[in-house]
Structure formats: C-alpha cells, structure tokens
Structure 1
C-alpha cells in the first residue's frame, strides 16, 4: 500500500505511473479532506445549516499543491473519496496491522525506524519473536529520487514493503528529480534544451489546430531554470559515459562533465523558488 498527503505526488503518480501504481495507492482521505467531510456532513446539520454549500471550510497549508486536492471532483459533497490522498499515518497503520494481523500490541513511544540508503528513506520492521522472521515491513520515502526507486521496484514486482508513506522533501522545494529511460539528449541539443521556444514540438503553423495542451511553446525547462538550479544528466546510445550539464538561471549552459549514466535522461531541480523568495514562502 502507498500513501501520501501530497497532492502533487498523487498527480504525478496518476499521470506517469497510472497502470503500475494506482492499484496500490490508499483510498483514505487526507486530513484536509476528512475535516472537510466532517464540516459539511456533521457540523452543518448541527448548526442548522440546510445548504452545506453556505458553510465554508478554510485550511491554511504550507504547500500550493493542496489547491489541487481541494479542486478534485472526488472531494465534492456528492462525490467519493479521492484516490491516494492518505498520508502521515505510518505509525498508526503499523501499530494497527501488528495488533490485528499478528496479535502484537506495541508499546507506546517512537517506533524503531532505521535509516537505510540515505537519510530520507526509513523502514520499520515487525519480526516474529521466536524465529526473527519479518512479519510486517513499512517504509517512509522522502524525495523523488527515493520515490522513483520504489516505483521501479513496484513495476518489476520486487517491492518488499507492505506499506509505504510518500513525502516530498520540503514539499519539493529542496529537490525534484525526474528520470527516464529514453534515447537521451544529443550533444548538439545540450544548449537548446533550456532556451525559450527551442524545444517546441510544433513543426508547421497547421499544427496549432491540433493542440490540446498548453505545453507546446518549448518554455518548460527555460522557465524552471529561472526558478531553480537545473542540472541534467543524459546519455545516448553509443556514448562511453553520460554527461552532467549545469545551467544558469538564464538558461545558458555553464558546465558539462562526464558522469555515469545508462541511456536516458535525468533532470534535477534544486532550491526551487530560490530566486523568488516570496513565492517560496
């Protein structure tokens, strides 16, 4: 089971990992959605409010992505639960599963989480007291690098965890990393990658008639350069090694050096909104 209170991650999962991931995402509502249901369904009648639409539920959140959750049709009064909006329940889930599945009542206090491959990935185990066999395995994964590693394991059927809680590190402001196993970026395109209008998929004016998204102008990476520190690691078929590319906020390529990488591309954003402190807050 996968759970997360981050709507941005849920949106990422739905758009990029739909077939392999969605069956494992918890259907439990997030704290924001639970409180909204209580206000509309329980509090409204007690206050004598006949039309729940006239009773407003306002939440103050540290992340703009919460607007994504609030706008989901599944979270309207007549709708159903939003898929994948659970989060922050790792301790409760682990304790409840231990007691109901294995008859083990865990003592109060912090659970014995262990840090594994890095400080942003932790796991907690429940073992059989006699044999030492692992009965229950839960994990907390922070940041896209750890999340993508888990996604690959799930797609390959090699994920050993019963429950995983997903969290973005500082809501993605410290690091967002996306990788693919495509054909990589050719050397002649290294600079064009982050310049405005250089990566548009339009070939002729006639292509404008078939647009169904706003992502046709070739401005994505250029805009991200203005907001964060952007680096790209890429490798094409036939290259002896990959290349790490570093870009300035203007989109200009400032450095490149050899870097181990299989064929494909990884784009990393660090210190998102560091150039716009007001938006970062």
Structure 2
C-alpha cells in the first residue's frame, strides 16, 4: 500500500477530528501529540510524506488549564526538523490573533493583543528562522475564527453575552466554516507553491451577534470594554490566488457547523 502523502501532527484535537471526517481516505497519516516525544517515531512517520501539517499547539483554553503557550514554538520547531529530515514541506497552524487590532494582510506589522497571539508570533518567527537554516519550505497558516470551534457559536451557553460597540454592533470577524476549512487545508497540503504566511478564511466579515441569530441562539449585549477589538478582517488576496473562495454568511457558517460531525 502506498504511504499517505500528508502527515498530520496533533490530529487528536477538534480540527484533527474534523479533517479525519472530511478528507479522502488514504491521503493522510495521523499522529497525535505523543509523536513529538520520540524523534524516531516522528521521523518514521514523516518518511515518504510530501507535506506535514502541524496542528499541535496550546490554545487559550488549554493555557487557562495550565498549558504552556511556549509549547507552540517547541512543537513547530520539532515539526520543521521532521520536515527537513523527510524532505517535506511544513504547514504550521497559526492564528489571526497575531494581528491584534492591526491590519490583516500577511505583510502587515504584527501587533498581537493577547498572550496567545504573542505566543503565535514567537512561534512564527522562530519557525521562519529555522526553516531558512534547514532549507525547509514552511508556511504559517493564520486561521480566522472557525464557526463552531469558536467562543461565540462553539462556546455558546445560556445567558451568553456579547460585547456591544457604539451603534449596537457586536465584534465583526473573518470566519471560515468547518467544512470549508477542511477542504481548504486538504487543497493547500497538496500544493508546493505556498508563501511563508497565508491567511485562512472566507471572504467578508460576519458579526458574532448575526452568527448566533442565524443559529437561533439567544444572547444579550454588554458594553464593550476599552481593550475589545471591534473588527478583524483578514486580507485573502494570497489565498484567492491559490483556491476558489466562497464568501462567508451567517447562514452558511451555521449550516457547515450543523453538517459537521465535530460539534
């Protein structure tokens, strides 16, 4: 049997489960975070693969439970070394949090507003330096809000409150549906012409309030604190040059969430 062409690291998380449910059978070889503990296991898993997708990392919720955000860098560098040994390109899961309230274009100055965003910036910079040193093709995937794996739709609870800005608007973000994310990632893993950083989302922005309304989930407004970010819009010019894109709508995002087996 021919070995799968993509090694997915950190595949036991929710994004990994999503990809497993959507990707073609036989495309990927799936490894959990435990593979990082044994260089020989990781090297063997990577051997013969053309691409490594590293989803492993520490999220804000994991950090709140005592996880170390610095692990984002350690895990990425380990994936890069495996890529160098296997001759595989490496795609690293980053986040739109690297932009903070700044511009959402890949060459914009990164001004993260949270510890998580700062940890992802540190990861990207360390990874870029090592990729250059090892001559590995690496791309940081700056993923926007994933509808259903986010704090609004995915984290909804009775009594939910959303920040409300002057005029009544709720936070507006670039989003991506769960099915669309899986499809974009599988397409990107098979390309060998990726830039060093790439925004991952669907065109357009959607208010969090509109998203919950489309899902029929009640919420109440609360005054947005001074540090709240009203809008984060990712520039998708690079992505549109690689893949066909479908604009995000509240109804479409909710439909993908409900169609997914990962909820």
TM-score between the two structures when normalised by the length of structure 2: 0.25
Q: State which structure, 1 or 2, has the greater radius of gyration over its C-alpha atoms.
A: 1
TM-score by length of 1: 0.24
With CA pairs under 8 Å and 6+ residues apart, which has the higher RCO, 1 or 2? Answer: 2
